Structure 1
Amino acid sequence: MFSNGISCNLPFSCMSVTRDSGSEELLPSRMAREPILLNVYDMYKINDLTSNIGLGVFHSGVEIYGTEYAYGGHQYPFTGIFEIIPRDERELGDQFRFRQSIQIGYTDFTEDDVKRIINELGKEFRGDRYHLMNNNCNHFSGAFTKILCGQDIPSWVNRLAYFSSWVPFLEKCLPKEWLMPMALQHSISNHCPDSTCSEASTPPY
């Protein structure tokens, strides 16, 4: 059971221990060494003006084992988590611009462990549960990194969510297409290629 209440059945390879022949002390079998990167994107040119005063609109994804995982909104009751080539803003759409990578920490979860974690997180971060202020891509990134290495993402990345409590109309001022990057639209078409997803390009937000 993870700290945020998400349960996941993972192998114990990352927590296995060895016993030194000359010592009764149990030691980890290996050190955490897979880097965890947070890739941050500007979501609008206005960030060039507002970021200097600490307010910006940002998208983020978590890069690990050569894949970047991110979250977006759609109207269906299945995962809104999708994968892209790390830092490839073209897969996200014209309104996204890569800003910077931040190293959050290291993990000893294996690549298979990470995929299982993503599957479990997808039950919470469903497309139809996306909310720009309360359950957005940055909330997902923070939940993911805390599971991987116990570290949250920098608070400034999701500062817009905190400002929304002071400026309640702000959410209505942002374009709806920001909720669903191009890569997520492609992911949805692969998830349900029949007509049930024919309207995936127009999420009801």
Structure 2
Amino acid sequence: MEPETTSNSVSEGNGNDKNCETQVVLNVYDLTPLNNYTVWFGLGIFHSGIEVHGKEYGFGAHDFPASGVFEVEPRSCPGFIYRSSVSLGRITMLPSEFRTFIENAASEYHGDTYHLISKNCNHFTDDISWRLTGKHIPGWVNRLARLGSLCSCLLPESLQVSTVKQLPEYHDCSEEDGTECLSTTTARESTEIDDDHEKSLLSPMAVSGDVAFVKEVQK
């Protein structure tokens, strides 16, 4: 059994700046059907995203020194199977303030720094959760990476290969609250690893289709 109790899906967001209180939710996905068996032993390979103001934010790999933080509809990250949601608490932050916050965070999470063991999507959500609520995500979500760090010398070099080969592009546009729109770009898979299943374990970005990246604040 999972060592933490998860709630049913929780989603709350409002683009109206007058309502600045919102719930922070961790949405957890299975990266492999094997989780249905290994989760009973407190292990599993998971992707997670942070849901704030009705949008979900995750971190994935590409080969460029630019933002690897992306936005999707809650509980709908492409390529993965939604498992559960965990309520992390409530915050008081305007949507425009959160936009500034996540763009600043994106400058610390470039796609070419993604690593399955030391800096993956769950490290990102844990960091964002801590900054927003003062709480860490449940330990079981990223337990396999922590175990892997203890024996990293046994891991194949292929685990350090990123999988998205197209530089994210961003387009400016105006919204009512003055924030910058996200752009979309098609993520193309690398041919450096032949096994499709192994690719899917490297990064949440190893999927086809459009991905909306968050444009980082230029420093």
- What TM-score comes out, normalization by structure 2 length? 0.65
Change (3 A) 1:187 1:181: farther
Contact 2:59-2:120 at 8 Å conserved across structures: yes
Structure 2 SS opposite 1:186:
strand
Structure 1 regions of 5+ residues with no counterpart? 1-31, 192-205
Deviation digits for residues 153-189 of structure 1 (CA, Å, limit 9, x no counterpart): 111101011110344345657712331243886336x
Q: Distance in 2 between matches of 1:108 and 1:183?
A: 35
Write out aligned runs for 1:7-86 (5 A).
Answer: 33-86=21-74
Point out where structure 2 has 5 or more consecutive residues left out of the alignment. 1-19, 160-196
8 A Cα contact 1:79 1:125, kept in partner: yes
Aligned-partner Cα distance in 1 for 2:115–2:209? 15
| Count of aligned pairs | 156
2:175 paired with 1:175: no
Aligned-residue Cα RMSD (Å) equals: 2.5
> 1:12-161, aligned counterparts within 5 Å?
33-89=21-77, 92-93=78-79, 96-161=80-145
* Matched position secondary structure for 1:187: strand
More helix by proportion, 1 or 2? 1
Ranges of 4+ aligned residues in structure 1 off by more than 2 Å:
165-174, 181-188
Greater C-alpha radius of gyration: 1
Percent identity among equivalent residues? 37
